[in-house]
């Protein structure tokens, strides 16, 4: 069945209005500009970007972005056909041209003779990282999170005007990062600035503490460029710029004392009312840094595990009907039995 343009447009608008990050679904190939549907969709994407602040990540597949930007080669040929077809609607053509130029100016991915499998892996990796940094979730979307959140909020004590550093500590895989992310999303409207530094251990190993200091400042002071070249200078700038600002900072997956010393230093680096949340597996690290309190999440209760298994089994049965669930009940019961109380 062929859907009308208006129905597809309404569906697209619904999708975009609920998206925090938009990845351009239609790859920019050499035939892209010939499709009036693709260009109309592109206009809507650009509108959402400009009006709602949505992110756009273009993928240039077997086409040079500069050809789209300048509308040369195939793009020029395509618009010649459009202008002939839509002689009475020059405004439509201009909207298409403007949208194409704007998106072609956005840094995205260009195949450019790379191996396609490597190209795809690179896209997936980088988009996943972006989603982890920006995707907003609320505790109502997560099973079994209500009690841990309430316990954590008691320790954070957001109503007080002091500066508090709170640790979330426990073994890997028990939900420390998820808990910190939910708390961060819930509390951030109450602060003048915010920063969530994900997987500090890995980022520090790959890019160094200097990059993390710049990321912290850039997330809090949007649009500012920070040019410093050593960690000591970075610490000085952080303490100076944030000392009178009420901020919320999450340091995720910390495993080194230097991470804390260079990124959050002392309480007086931050303005009154600031809250710093640190997730780590190392309780000794938190105690040495004299954090104000430590929350240690427990394993899921058996009741919550049963709920999660039920929900996942329902989702799987609904969406992946070809999967055999012959032994699913046995597997689920065994999993519940092994869950620590």
Beta-carbon contacts of 263 under 8 Å, excluding residues fewer than 6 positions away, are: 197, 200, 209, 212, 213, 216, 238, 249, 251
CB contact at 8 A, 111 and 62? yes
Among residues 30, 40, 41, 73, which one is catalytic?
41
**Residue 108: phi, psi to the nearest 5?**
-135, -135
Neighbour-count burial of 61, counting CB atoms closer than 10 A to its CB (0-12 exposed, 13-18 middle, 19+ buried)? middle
Cα gap 297→179, rounded to integer Å: 9
CA angle 55–192–183, rounded 5-degree value: 70
CB contact at 8 A, 223 and 254? no
When computed from its CA atoms, the radius of gyration of the chain, rounded to whole angstroms, is 25
Annotated active-site residue 233? The verdict is no
For the sheet with 247-251, list strands across it. 193-197, 247-251, 275-280, 164-169, 293-295
How far is CA 276 from its chain centroid? Answer: 20
Among residues 38, 48, 109, 108, which one has the least CA distance to residue 79?
A: 38
If residue 211 lies in a helix (H) or strand (E), which one and from where to where? helix 209-220
Catalytic residues: 41
């Amino acid at each position: 069945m062929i859907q009308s343009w208006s129905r597809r447009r309404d569906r697209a608008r619904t999708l975009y209005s609920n998206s925090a990050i938009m990845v351009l679904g239609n790859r920019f190939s050499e035939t892209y500009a010939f499709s009036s549907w693709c260009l109309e969709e592109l206009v809507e994407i650009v509108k959402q970007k400009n009006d709602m602040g949505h992110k756009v990540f273009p993928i240039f597949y077997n086409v040079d972005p500069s050809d789209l930007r300048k509308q040369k080669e195939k793009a020029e040929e395509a618009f010649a056909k459009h202008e002939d077809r839509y002689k009475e609607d020059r405004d439509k053509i201009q909207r298409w041209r403007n949208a194409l130029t704007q998106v072609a100016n956005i840094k995205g991915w260009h195949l450019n003779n790379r191996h396609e499998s490597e190209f795809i892996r690179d896209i997936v990796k980088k988009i996943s990282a972006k989603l982890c940094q920006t995707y907003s979730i609320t505790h109502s979307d997560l099973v079994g999170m209500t009690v841990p959140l309430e316990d954590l909020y008691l320790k954070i004590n957001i109503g007080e005007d002091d500066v508090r550093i709170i640790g979330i500590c426990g073994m890997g895989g028990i939900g420390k990062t998820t808990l910190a992310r939910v708390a961060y999303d819930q509390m951030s409207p109450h602060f003048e600035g915010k920063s969530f530094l994900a997987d500090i251990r890995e980022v520090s190993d790959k890019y160094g503490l200097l990059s993390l200091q710049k990321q912290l400042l850039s997330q809090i002071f949007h649009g500012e460029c920070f040019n410093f070249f050593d960690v000591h200078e970075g610490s000085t700038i952080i303490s100076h710029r944030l000392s009178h600002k009420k901020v919320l900072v999450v340091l995720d997956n910390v495993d080194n004392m230097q991470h804390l010393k260079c990124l959050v230093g002392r309480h007086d680096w931050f303005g009154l009312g600031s809250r710093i949340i640190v997730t780590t597996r190392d309780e000794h690290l938190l105690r040495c840094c004299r954090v104000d309190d430590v929350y240690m999440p427990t394993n899921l209760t058996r009741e919550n595990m049963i709920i999660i298994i039920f929900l996942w089994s329902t989702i799987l049965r609904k969406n992946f009907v070809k999967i055999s669930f012959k032994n699913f009940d046995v597997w689920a019961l065994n999993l519940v039995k092994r869950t620590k109380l």
